[in-house]
Amino acid sequence: MLAGTFELKDAMSRVLAMLGRHHGMMRGVVMLLDLDTNELRVVASHGLDEDGARRVKYQIGEGITGRVAQTGKSIVVPQISREPMFLDRMGARKKTLKQQELSFICVPVLVNRKSVGVLGVDLRYKSDRNYEQTSTFLSIIASMIAQAIKVTHLLEADKQRLLDENIHLKQELRERYDFSHIVGNSSPLRQVYEQVTQVARTNTTVLLRGESGTGKELIAHAIHYNSLRANKPFIRVSCAALPETLIESELFGYEKGAFTGAQARKKGRFELAEGGSLFLDEIGDLNVSTQIKLLRVLQEREFERLGGTETIKVNVRLIAATNKEMEQAIAAGQFREDLYYRLNVFAIFMPPLRERKSDVLLLADHFLEKYAREHGKSIKRISTPAIDMLTSYHWPGNVRELENIIERAVLVCETNVIHGHHLPPTLQTAEGSGTVTRLQLEATVGAFERDIIMDALKTTRGNRKTAAKLLDTTERVIGYKVRKYGIDCDRFRS
């Protein structure tokens, strides 16, 4: 009984009822300690007026019941009428005592050797009753109740922990995808922020357009976690990652026996996202047959599972993203024009990184801090020549490429400054043809030397004498190298 339910109070009432039916108990009560008031209160009873019993309470040490809770030891009262400490707060024994004598046995309920309550029972008085045996039997029952209480407390604590963790994670997600945590303040990105602010708290379908690696998924998260659906699920589906044969069953689910291997009903992503947002990434790669079914969901807000006839209503906000030129795809017959107009209610164009030059350094510093912490390195900054290389590059892979390059630089850097030679060859030749060339020893050494001198001059604000001391050389050598490499010292003085 105690193990088979999560409703502990009901289980304890059934246990007391069983003691009444099979073990001669006339009345029984389980009282547990209220941690807020430090009083014993009735949680389950048998043979008593339930409403009256709920109002009864004992202080610790008060009467027989309070004494058992205080000491953690059983008390046996063979004849209630002769015991002055017996308070009878429930007033249920006066009539019975006029007709027959009663015995009262009270045993503690101990959890981790600490009293958390008592089990008390009334029995008919019998002079030949083995009270020690009866008391031991009731102590075993009390220990089983204690174990059930302990398990319940563990389950409640675990449930509360999961609830707190869930709240914390949701808050963390909200903070992570808050606008203030999106790196960049360039004019094109500020325009994106304004559009997200306009559309976030509505239910409008959003289409995110832009090159791969520009941060479309980040903006999709920002829209969801700044919307009225923030507490509901955010489900992501990559239309390009799933084969054509699976995409429909993933989106809409399927019934048992819908196809070979469908051994049970499975909910689709639309059902899983109920009340929340569904993000369809790379929607331009969706096959035409699935496009027709998706169009119906957008129009009617309903669909049927694969192999099923039941119509399922959905309340989902759709956010789609693509890096394709949708107009060209429509002209080529690869994408349905009517679906495009349904998706293109509110379009947000994500600017490529080459149009956000002022954000390159901010993003580089952000990724430097992130990966230095992740890889346990103490890298403080990026050198001036390396910054020049980053800002002059055309970034075909956008933010994703920048992130990967900074992570690589952090891994190969053995000092506390990232220099130009830590960056990949594609950046080192960016100002030239944009292709990787075979480097000569003299040119490579010269580039490294120029990098070191420029970094020293930056540290000393263009002071050659101090820079020479920093590099353990003479001012004359520094002057020669400055002229050789055409370094402008004045740029470091401001």
Beta-bridge partner residues of 123: 25, 103
Residue 170 near residue 231, CB atoms below 8 Å:
yes
Cα–Cα distance, 129 to 406 (Å, whole number)? 84
What is residue 324's DSSP assignment?
S
Cα–Cα distance, 419 to 407 (Å, whole number)? 13
What is residue 254's DSSP assignment?
B
Q: Which tokens go with 160?
A: 């509360």
Q: How buried is residue 139: exposed, middle or buried, by Cβ count under 10 Å (0-12/13-18/19+)?
A: middle
pLDDT (0 to 100) of residue 198: 93
pLDDT (0 to 100) of residue 434: 42
pLDDT tens string 256-294:
888 877 888 889 999 999 999 999 999 999 988 889 989
Q: Among 92-106, 213-227, 348-362, which stretch is predicted with the lowest mean pLDDT?
A: 92-106
Confidence class for position 1, pLDDT limits 50, 70, 90? confident
Q: Among 214-228, 257-271, 395-409, which stretch is predicted with the lowest mean pLDDT?
A: 257-271
Cα–Cα distance, 32 to 12 (Å, whole number)? 12
pLDDT (0 to 100) of residue 93: 64
pLDDT (0 to 100) of residue 207: 96
Residue 121 near residue 145, CB atoms below 8 Å:
no
Confidence class for position 129, pLDDT limits 50, 70, 90? confident
Confidence class for position 361, pLDDT limits 50, 70, 90? very high
Cα–Cα distance, 34 to 84 (Å, whole number)? 26
pLDDT (0 to 100) of residue 488: 84
Cα–Cα distance, 103 to 297 (Å, whole number)? 72
pLDDT of 373 higher than 60: yes
CA dihedral 208, 213, 214, 215 (to 10 degrees): 70
Cα–Cα distance, 158 to 194 (Å, whole number)? 42
What crossing angle do the helices spanning 187-200 and 216-225 adopt, rounded to 10°? 40
Confidence class for position 433, pLDDT limits 50, 70, 90? very low
Task: Report the amino acid identity of residue 246.
Answer: L
Average pLDDT, rounded, for the chain: 86
User: Cα 46–50–56 angle (5° rounding)?
Assistant: 100
Confidence class for position 180, pLDDT limits 50, 70, 90? low
Confidence class for position 204, pLDDT limits 50, 70, 90? very high
pTM, two decimals, is 0.58
Confidence class for position 436, pLDDT limits 50, 70, 90? very low
